[in-house]
Amino acid sequence: MRFAVDTNRYTDFCRNDPATVELFQSAHEIFIPFVVLGELRAGFKLGKSSEKNERNLVKFLNLPGIRPLHPDDQTSFFYASIFYDLRKKGTPIPTNDLWIGALVLQHELVLFTRDAHFDLIPQIPKLG
C-alpha cells in the first residue's frame, strides 16, 4: 500500500497509536506532503520538545519508503480544480488542505487523515 499522510496521522504514529503504527509498518511507500512538513515543524516550534521532535522527524524521513511530496506546475491545476469545486458548493476549506488534496489527486494516492475537511472532496480516496 502507498498513501499520503496528514499531520494528524503522523502525530498518531508518534504517539504509538497501534492501528496507525501497524498501517505505517505495512506500507510500501508513505508520502509526506510539504504542507504537512511545514505544519509539523511549526508545531514543533511552539512546543517544549522542538529539537527532539525535529530529530524524530528527520529520522522518519530517512527511513526506506518515506517520500516528501512537493508541488510542481501540474499541482496548481489540481489545486485550482478543488478550489473551484468547493467554492461553487459554498464549502471552502483551509488552504493547506487544498494543497494536500491537490498533491494526493495528482499522484493518485490515498490520504490517511482524520480531518473532516477532506470529506468535502469526494474524489480523494481516504483511509480513516
- Residue 25 predicted with pLDDT over 80: yes
Task: Output the pTM of the full model.
Answer: 0.93
Whether the per-residue pLDDT at 23 is higher than 90: the answer is yes
Residues linked to residue 68 through DSSP beta bridges, in sequence order: 32
| 3-state SS class at 26 | helix
User: Is residue 31 within 8 Å of residue 69, measured between CB atoms?
Assistant: yes
First-to-final CA distance of the chain: 15
Q: Is 17 helix (H, G, I), strand (E, B) or coil?
A: coil
Query: Which CATH number describes the domain made up of 2-127?
Result: 3.40.50.1010
Give 61-126 as a DSSP string: HTSTTEEEE---HHHHHHHHHHHHHHHHHT----HHHHHHHHHHHHTT-EEE---GGGGG-TTS-E
pLDDT in tens, 93-115: 999 999 999 999 999 999 999 99
Mean pLDDT of 24-37: 97
